[in-house]
A and B are shown apart, each in its own frame.
Chain A
């Protein structure tokens, strides 16, 4: 199993640009999540999904969108990037009630 994979690993965006962070898992997990982690801080939940076609907002959803068309994939869309979205983004997946598996992260800088 590859586990949870994320692409790209690094990205620099200009203010106002858009991009999609990709996340895929091959463990057939129902639940998937997107977190962001600012320097020296804990993780904050952006969006999560309990299955294909079902998503919901976390703590900090503003400026982001998600979709879940398959069990395996959970892309995160940034529209109109802002400097406040400079962060490290982590995708995770799990079975209900079980430990979460995290991807290696995408380091995003918005300038």
Chain B
């Protein structure tokens, strides 16, 4: 499985944008980049995913480097409720049995400062 590298922790001020980096230098051409987050004492929550182009949804934006070896999750205006562990995960886009076995690493713990 292709691996991802994320900083262990980050801090950001409330109401400011947050950029969460992820390196995936061994990504293959068929890997999607998925982001999940886990709030304290809760199950993980799907945030966003993309393949090549930048993606936006109501929760966040995903910026993907042109060579796809890195990506950045952008929270446009952080709130205290965004304090969580954020996971960057690669998933092969093939729709088969084995590709659903996402590997969750230890992620980035985001702290929001009031």
Contact = CB atoms under 8 A, between A and B. Distances in A.
Contacts of B93: 97
A42 B105 contact: yes
B43 A102 contact: yes
Interface in A72-92: 90, 92
Interface string B73-114: 000000000000001000001010101111111110000000
Nearest to B46: A99
A101 interface: yes
B19 interface: no
B87 A90 contact: no
Given A31-B100, A94-B100, A100 B95 contact: no
Nearest to A89: B43
Interface in A24-41: 31, 33, 35, 40-41
Given A42-B87, A42-B107, A50-B97, A100 B102 contact: yes
A88 B76 CA distance: 31
User: SS class of chain A's interface: helix, strand, loop or mixed?
Assistant: strand
A90 B44 contact: yes
B109 to A, nearest CB: 10
Given A41-B106, A42-B87, A42-B106, A96 B100 contact: yes
Contacts of B49: 99
A104 B95 contact: no
Contacts of B36: 99-100
A44 to B, nearest CB: 8
A80 to B, nearest CB: 26
B34 interface: yes
A105 B95 contact: no
B43 A90 contact: yes
B31 to A, nearest CB: 12
Contact of B43 (A42, A45, A50, A104): A104
Interface of A: 4, 31, 33, 35, 40-45, 48, 50, 56, 58-59, 90, 92, 94, 96-97, 99-105
